[in-house]
Each structure stands twice: as C-alpha cells, then as structure tokens.
A and B are shown apart, each in its own frame.
Chain A
C-alpha cells in the first residue's frame, strides 16, 4: 500500500501546513519504507569503528541486516547478513573481529570479504564442484556503498545518485563536523535506546529548531551548564541549508577563528588544525558571518550536533560533537544510535573532558536529550488518533500570510546553499519538501544484485 497525497494536500505541506497524522501513521511509514529508506543513502558505520582487518559491526537499514566488515585488504564492504543456503542470519553479534563468518545452521563459511569458502560435506552432499562451485557464490553486497569523511553509507537503491551529488553543499558541513584535522575523527559508542516516537520529529528538530532551545532546554540555562542557549544567543544565530543538509547555528559574534574556538575550549593544536582543514566556506561562515554550526540533519535520518558545556564550578568550557542515526522501527517507534565524536589525534585529557561534556548533555542520559525524548513521545502519541487526521500543524515560521519570506537569506554568506538569520522554519519545510518529493515519486527499482553467478 502507498499513501497518496493529493496535489492540494501536497501544496499545503509545501506551504508549511503539515497533516498531523504523518507523525504516527502505519500507511505513511509503509510508504516511507520504500520511497525514503529504499531510495536514499543510509549511514551504517564510521570507519573508526572497524579500524583493523577483520573488524566488523552489524547494522541495519530498517529490517535489512548488514555486516560492515573490513577485509584483510583493508577495504570496507557492506554485506547482506544472510546465509545463501537457508537464509540464516550469519553474524548475530553487534560487532567483532573475524576472518570468516560461519553460518550456525549448516556451517557454510564465508571469508570476511563475502566469498563462500567452506561447504560441509561438499563432495558427499553436492558432488563437489559438479554441483556447487563455491567461488561463484558470495554474500549479497549492498546495491551501493560509498565512504565520505569516514562515514560508510549504503543504499538499497541500485540507481542512487553518486554520494557527492546526493550530499551537494552538505559535504562542506560534513567536513566541519567530521574532518577538522589530518587524523580525522574517531567515534565512540553507539549508545542505543528505543522509544515510542516517530523518526521524522528528531530529524526535523536537528534541521534547525533553535526556537525550541530556550524553552525545552530552559533547565540547562538555569543550572549554568550551557550558557550559549540563552534565547538572545539563539536568536543571534540562525539556520543553514546546503544540498541535503539542514542545520542550525549559534551566533558567535566578532573575532578571529582562533579567538572564537579558543573561547569555547578548543586546545591550541585543535584550533590550528581547524584553521587549516575546515572548508573555506565554513571558516567564512564563522568569521565573516558570526555563525557557528550547532546541528545538522543529513536527509533523511542522520544528525550531528556540536556545542560546548561548562564542565566544572570554575566555568571551564569544553566542546563536544555527537552524531546520531534515527533508525525507525515503526511509525511510532525509533531506535537511536548515538555516538560521541572526537579528534582522533586529540590528547587523552581532552578526549576525557569532551566525553564527559557529551554524556552530561546528549545521549541516553544527556540532560538536553532527556527532555527532547519526552516531548517527542507525547507528540507521537497525540498524532495517532482520529482528531489528528483533521488537523494541519502550523509550520510557517518565517513566512508571511502571502507566503513571502519574513527575512531574506544572508547576502554576505559565501558558502553553498542558504543561511537565514534568527528563528525560522524554512529548513523544516524544505526537509519536508524533500520528504514529499520522495513520497510522491514512484517506488525505486528493486535491487538487481543476485547471489547467482
């Protein structure tokens, strides 16, 4: 089944009037399954999670389980986690190190690059090569795999566009979050938890909902943990959109890149690395426009966040970055995979402090994240009923009655895409427009890869 949006309704959505039921509707989710998650690039793992040959993690794209494995040749492969014989799940752990994967059912054995190398009783059961040529069989690879800044993406869609085309201008922002130094970043985690809310709410929140910060997270200001979330400073920030990336910024005032980064707790070598390695567009956004990116959602469901936290009574500020995948389980349940992200070449002391800054604010116990989860749960519950089917939500911030923009994009911004000053829901609307484009398009082609030679 597929949900059908009439042209009228689609136009409403594009104008910022959102049917409330899309946040808890089985039919909508069933369509998303094919047209969003079956079409887009999906994040699976970070290269630093599998640093050694033989390392692997097991991850999903919705219901499809994949082994993300580094082979003896150092290459990363994404292999469908199903034995070619009777369909048993091959790797049942979350992670490990193995040269081979052996099926627990009948013992078919694969090398960690996916090739079938062992079949018990090969001669007796199959007549050897006359009945089954092992070298002609390999674990089914994901239809498309690409790596960018350590992020391993796969797609169920064999016709998906090249990753760099898909990212567009978002690539610069991904480099801001993930490539600030020659050593790159390492990730720790993920913390995993699941709860009863719809994945779109989180994706949209990280798109640029700086409007919720002063209210939802008022307690953080009251206990002096993150002074930058004050309404004024949020207002001085804004939002950015570039390619399939959508995010918010903090207003960070005047000053050099070095002064600004030192003020939020980056050690000298981290500042120097950033000055050298960040894209020019990002440095200009920070220095010339006074905007420091604070969050981003890469369409559809991968998000990033960067802020700084007061980690002691002396007022020491320490920055932290997190990356999270909002993995839908159903229309009303989402599993969060949340990683802590830090420069691989940072000192142990900095890693330790930044790690603490992360745990205090985000992740399963994070004081910011706790309150978001609470809100999203209530929203999802309320979207389930009959009344929600006749309610369209007002997501029109930044638009006047005649649909003109309240403010124009920042003319002085030199990077890809668009930066808007202050509170606005331009990004949430544009993210939802992308979603709608996918939902209105035909189902993507079925993957054509087969295990037969």
Chain B
C-alpha cells in the first residue's frame, strides 16, 4: 500500500535507469534546467503562490522515507511511507497555511538556499514531456539560532510541455539521503 497506490503513471526511475540522457544542447534539456532553477528561485524567495502556478493540477509529489534494510524479502530500502505524499489540494493547503499569521514553524521565516545540480534529462513517453533528474542541497537557516538544517537528495520529475510557456511539474519523487532527518520539521518544499 502506498499513498500513490491509486495513481497509474509512468515509472520515473525506470525512465532514468533505462534511458539515455538528452544532450546538453538539447532545447528540452535547456528548458528543463531553466525551469528547475527558476522554481528554486521562487521557493527561496518565498513566492509560494507563484510556485503553485508551476504545478500541474494532477501533480503527485512524493518524498518516501529511507531505511537501511537487508535480507532477501527486504531488498528495497524505500518503504511504503513518506515524508510527503501530496496532491495539488494538500500542497495548496500547505501554501495557504504559510500565508496565515499562525504558521509558527516558519515564523520567523527560514532563509533557504536550494542548490540544484547534476541535471540529466530524458525523453518521456508523452510527446513534449521530459523526465528530469536533479540533485538538491537544501540549506535552511532559522532566526539567530545555529540549528541549521542541510538536507540532500535526488529528485526525479516529470515536466509537461517543457519547451513552452505552459511547462508544468506533473510528478516529483524526492529521495533524501537521510534515514533519520536531522531537523525539527519539514516545513519546506523540495
């Protein structure tokens, strides 16, 4: 069982594992790279409503937990549990909440810096779509305290109509590198 159980769709990791990356000069690769950097700019600038505009209405946004597992029946180290398993409604609610005066987890607001690197782009089954793999390093500083959070992971995204103005994020799978998160909460988006 998983929060994504009812949603058919392409296997993003399979596209990345089996596909051949588009060349650096490919317009789709360049458009995807620019999209991700612009998206990070919006999130770091706390322009969350503008960020929502980049999301497809049927978005699936998922950050599974990691575990360290061994043994024949437990070869997969990602369990059916997530830190996030969101659709557009729940992402919009999270953004609405950050807009209230009572979102203490982000009061004072975090200073965040999202470093997006190692971008590889793959042709997706649907024309005009691409699957994009990127590394993210999220630096989060709060108030005048030294409890800074640094979280690293790899994201695999599905971008629709990537070379057009209508480019939207339709799927995101974030694999974080920590099994135990060294931070008080995940009040931030990856």
Contacts and interface: CB of A to CB of B under 8 A. Distances in A.
Contacts of B34: none
A349 B4 CA distance: 10
B103 interface: yes
Interface in A43-75: 52, 54-55
Nearest to B1: A351
Contacts of A312: 89
Nearest to A354: B3
Interface stretch (B14-22, B157-165, B180-188): B180-188
Contacts of A54: 71, 73
A404 interface: no
B10 interface: no
Interface stretch (A117-125, A160-168, A361-369): A361-369
Interface of A is mostly: mixed
Interface in B30-80: 63, 65, 67-74, 79-80
Interface in A322-361: 335, 340, 348-349, 351-352, 355-356, 359-360
Given A367-B93, A377-B147, A97 B185 contact: no
Interface of B: 1-3, 5-6, 63, 65, 67-74, 79-87, 89-90, 93-94, 96-97, 100-105, 107, 145, 147, 179-187
A216 B105 CA distance: 10
A364 B185 contact: yes
Instruction: Give the 7 A-B CB pairs with smallest separation, nearest first.
Output: A97-B71, A96-B71, A370-B105, A195-B184, A193-B181, A218-B102, A365-B186
B6 A349 contact: yes
B180 A371 contact: no
A369 B100 CA distance: 16
Contacts of A422: none
B68 A94 contact: yes
A220 B97 contact: yes
Contacts of A52: 73
Interface stretch (A184-192, A247-255, A297-305): A184-192
A419 B145 CA distance: 41
Nearest to B94: A367
A313 B97 CA distance: 15
A97 B179 contact: no
Interface residues of A, number: 54
Contacts of A97: 71-74
B179 A192 contact: yes
B79 A359 contact: no
A220 to B, nearest CB: 7
Interface in A78-115: 92-98
Nearest to B62: A359
24 contacts: A55-B73, A93-B71, A94-B68, A95-B69, A96-B71, A98-B71, A190-B81, A192-B181, A193-B183, A194-B180, A195-B183, A219-B97, A219-B102, A340-B81, A348-B5, A359-B84, A360-B94, A369-B185, A370-B105, A370-B186, A371-B105, A373-B105, A374-B107, A377-B184
A225 interface: yes
Nearest to B73: A97
Contacts of B100: 218-219, 222-223
Contacts of B107: 374
A223 B93 contact: yes
Given A96-B70, A359-B83, 8 more contacts: A94-B67, A95-B69, A195-B183, A311-B89, A313-B89, A335-B180, A356-B3, A364-B186
B145 to A, nearest CB: 8
Interface in A366-405: 367, 369-371, 373-375, 377, 381
A196 interface: yes
Nearest to A217: B102
A333 to B, nearest CB: 10
A352 B1 contact: yes
Contacts of A355: 1-3, 85
Contacts of B96: 222-223
B180 A348 contact: no
B105 A374 contact: yes
A181 to B, nearest CB: 16
Nearest to B143: A378
Nearest to A224: B93
Interface string A228-267: 0000000000000000000000000000000000000000
Interface in A170-226: 188-197, 215-220, 222-223, 225
A8 to B, nearest CB: 36
Contacts of A215: 102
Contacts of B145: 381
Contacts of B89: 311-313
A197 B63 CA distance: 25
B90 to A, nearest CB: 5
Contacts of A98: 70-71
Contact of B184 (A189, A196, A349): A196
A312 B105 CA distance: 23
A197 B71 CA distance: 35
A377 B187 CA distance: 15
Given A94-B179, A223-B97, A356 B184 contact: no
B85 A359 contact: yes
B73 A367 contact: no
A93 B73 CA distance: 14
A191 B3 contact: no
A359 B187 contact: no
Given A194-B181, A223-B100, A365-B84, A94 B73 contact: no
B69 A364 contact: no
